[in-house]
Structure 1
Amino acid sequence: MLKIQHLTKVYGTKKAVDDLSLHIQSGEIYGFIGHNGAGKTTTLKSVVGILQFDSGEIYINGKSIKEDPLGCKSDIAYIPDNPDLYDYMSGIKYLNFVADIFGINEKERNERIHKYSDMFEITSDLAQPISAYSHGMKQKLAIISAWLHSPKLIIMDEPFVGLDPKASHLLKEMMREVCDNGGAIFFSTHVLEVAEKLCDKVAIIKGGKLIRSGTIEEVKGDDSLEEVFLELEGE
């Protein structure tokens, strides 16, 4: 579903991402772990076509993000770490705007908007301008917009930040459902306990370099993921 091959991104003299290769397959929830500045967000923005990169290649569902960016973007959804939505729009106008971009017909968009806004209990707030939303409400709106076109691959940067426990639980269920239906999830997180319980595989990045990856069992062995991460960070 997602192949990252020898990805390198340089800012000035610093390699923010250094020869990174990962393969996220259909059906997998793949966690991406590292401290602030490790290269996680740079990697995710490169995957979704926001950042150009210096070398390497990224394939989404067999298509190159360099050669066919629009084709790739039609198959993915991206939720940044700080949802930067159009504050002047109402929630419902924003969702319809996203649905228009992906060519979702009226029947399907209405069904999905109704389903997910009810799940996240923001239906009554959709008429309000986004500028009046709390951070948590903006996060919920961003999640709903990401799920609208039933993407094959969902990329998320710290998706649980700002969500209440009920919304976090719903998001985890939605992530698993996507993968059960043949999609894939690639997301960064600082919440190692969530990663350990939720992910099929994880990758740990440090200083732009991949230092460990694999199934949860392969990465952590007999220790907790937190213990392994702290040990690797200290090396």
Structure 2
Amino acid sequence: MTTTPVTLIVVDDDPEIRELLADYLGRHGYRALTAQDAPALRALLVDETPDLLVVDLMLPGDDGFTLCRELRRDSDVPIIMLTASADETDRILGLELGADDYLGKPFNPRELLARIKAVLRRARAGQGPPAPAEARVVAFGDWRLDRLTRALIDTHGQQIPLSGADFQLLQVFLAHPERVLSREDLYVLTRGRPSPPLDRSIDVHVCRLRQRLGEDAQHSQLIRTVRGAGYVLTARVEALP
């Protein structure tokens, strides 16, 4: 049986980077397509359904932020953002807009490959059927989570879709209710590797998840900050039939 290769799209206005990455990823078994800017990507997406996007932040015209915001309106396709900027604000904004990972330029293609594999693993874990020991729907606080559709459901039955990163983080909290989890715990459990020094991306993801749950950092009752220790999901988790 022939296995369909994973399709990646690299969006970068530098032709040398596009060619290098397409060749490198192709040699590692991926179907790598390229686009030089936002219009070229939109044209590709008419006929292609990629498994992951690698998007340069500083594109001519509509930049990576614009593309990420646009894609997140109706898609949860994993996105890795690339940037030559040293400004951490750009990194935080990219994560807030729904990027799944972030890599600074210049970078080693091997590191990008490792990040692609890690993000795809997380995405597949979220999209696959639940493990036998897990209920499809669980209740916590005033919310329910449908693990199959990855949708949060409020008390009125309204569904709120989650990105892959949001779903993965919530899954970690639901697996460890009423237990304080440090930033390092959360990073390892969601990314599968230790966090880089001074990395604060977990705080960004927790903030975004709180927003999905209708809370803010100052008044969060469901995911509380434990000063100097980390975060805790305060609600009990119950399986629903």
Q: Give the TM-score taking structure 2 as reference length.
A: 0.31
Q: Which has the higher strand share?
A: 1
Q: Give the TM-score taking structure 1 as reference length.
A: 0.32
